[in-house]
Amino acid sequence: MSTQPKSTRKWWALALIAAAQFMVIMDTSIIGVALPQMQSDLGFSQEGLTWVFNAYVIAFGGLLLLGGRLSDLFGARRVFSAGWLILLIGSVVAGAAGNVAVELAGRAVQGAGAALIAPSALTLLMMLFGSTQKEMTKALSIYGAAAPAGGTAGVFLGGVITEYTSWPWVFYLNIPIAVVALIATPFLMPNAPARTGSIDFLGALAVTAGLAVGVFGIVRAPDVGWGSGQTWLALAVSAALLGAFVLIQSKRREPLVRLGIFKAPNLGAANIAQLVLGAAWIPMWFFLNLYLQQVLGYSAFPAGAALLPMTIFVMLGMIVVAPRAMARFGAKAMIVAGLLVLGIGLGWMSLIRPTGNFWVDVLPASLVAAAGMTLAFIPSLGTAISAARPEEGGLASGIVNVSYQVGSAVGLAVMTAIAAVFGADQLGDLTELTNGFSAVFLGAAAIAVVGAGITAVVMRSPKVDESETARSSVNS
């Protein structure tokens, strides 16, 4: 097969790449509406429910850097296919689980598959469209829309599946899609020769374990106490493992992450923005689901349908509005404005009431929050992946995905702890539940606003690049 598919074929390839990004993010959210049924059937505690999410996200986020490195060494197409196969296996295990341990194991395997899919998909996109700025802008817009749209669409699909079948089908849904992807990949995707080099498995183990222990300590803190020895021990071990990861990277000749890559202009700032977006956005949909079901009394399907307007809004905004706005205003202005708008939407959402309703308490605030995500996501993603050298495309893809997923995992863990402190663990008490959820939305709003401030201070405005983007947008 040639390195570059024909013109029509590469747009079909983009459809598969976007579908892959949609899927790996959807798998973080599709379980949201199904959580109450899973809790009843498998015996999860209220706090333990977050591990259905965290098991996936920790494996996903912790192994993304390894996935990016494998993509650079063995070729993105091979790693892309391997990821789909592992995701398929994990989906079967998670759907067939009969207890908590098997369920979490299946979710972790799903996350490992996603960790191979996500960076290789972005690398394939760069291989297909990176030579032309006009096509790259369009492709990146479609790819960018797939991530937040997958997150919110997962909520809707989870509601439909849970209402009319049963919760295992939120995992079985992946199986036919994975089979189609495995069949189509050899025909659609460009091939790249394998390169020589070593794989830093020790570094991958250190960063994954460090993230897992840290999230575990934060999630457990409300039960055992923030000042307890268990909490501080977990956080100390996490810090030690993450510090060991940095040390390993600085000593190895072929590290998992070349630390010098962070000297690239705006790479760090763009990844901070992605981390903040994950930390604010994911807790929002997680606890908004619980508010709809546990406070407003929605069943699975109406709860999912209630967030469908956000999905449509995000998809249209990412594809139609965001690229043109970025060409006019530049990446920095878009990211800062987007995070501020996201913070406003979340702050508005914190005004939810125990006797509220969808039209007043959910819809307006959720659309404002979605507008903020729409403005900030593509500029921060595009800035992050364009900052690296071409031969480190897989690494840059892995880093930006790690930033979003780490933000998601840590943000959800912290907000779960905050929710418990403010009463969200009091099932059946609508006032206490609402107070807990409101505290989460206010905390997420604070994260978004602080992120906007950091971006405004540390991100540069590359005048030349923005003018080129503007000319490309006019030509398109």
320 secondary structure, DSSP code: I
**From the centroid of its chain, how far is CA 145?**
12
Residue position matching structure tokens 């923030």: 226
| Cβ–Cβ < 8 Å for 110, 94 | yes
Position 320: which residue type? V
pLDDT digits (tens, 9 = 90+) for 283-315: 898 899 889 988 999 876 787 788 888 878 888
Position 163: which residue type? E
With H, G, I as helix, E, B as strand and everything else as coil, classify residue 330. Answer: coil
| Cβ–Cβ < 8 Å for 10, 142 | no
* Distance between CA atoms of residues 421 and 222, nearest Å: 7
Structure tokens at 166: 């049963």
pLDDT digits (tens, 9 = 90+) for 411-467: 887 898 889 888 877 777 899 999 999 999 999 999 999 999 999 999 987 654 443
Q: State the pLDDT at residue 219.
A: 67
* Distance between CA atoms of residues 470 and 270, nearest Å: 20
* Distance between CA atoms of residues 442 and 419, nearest Å: 11
117 secondary structure, DSSP code: H
Count other C-beta atoms under 10 Å from residue 176's C-beta: 10
Contacts of 184 (CB under 8 A, 6+ apart): 16
Q: State the pLDDT at residue 465.
A: 43
Residues of the chain with pLDDT under 70: 1-6, 46-47, 133, 148, 152, 194, 196, 219, 222, 300, 390-394, 462-476
| Cβ–Cβ < 8 Å for 66, 256 | yes
* Distance between CA atoms of residues 69 and 285, nearest Å: 31
* Distance between CA atoms of residues 217 and 409, nearest Å: 12
Q: State the pLDDT at residue 466.
A: 42
Structure tokens at 10: 């590469």
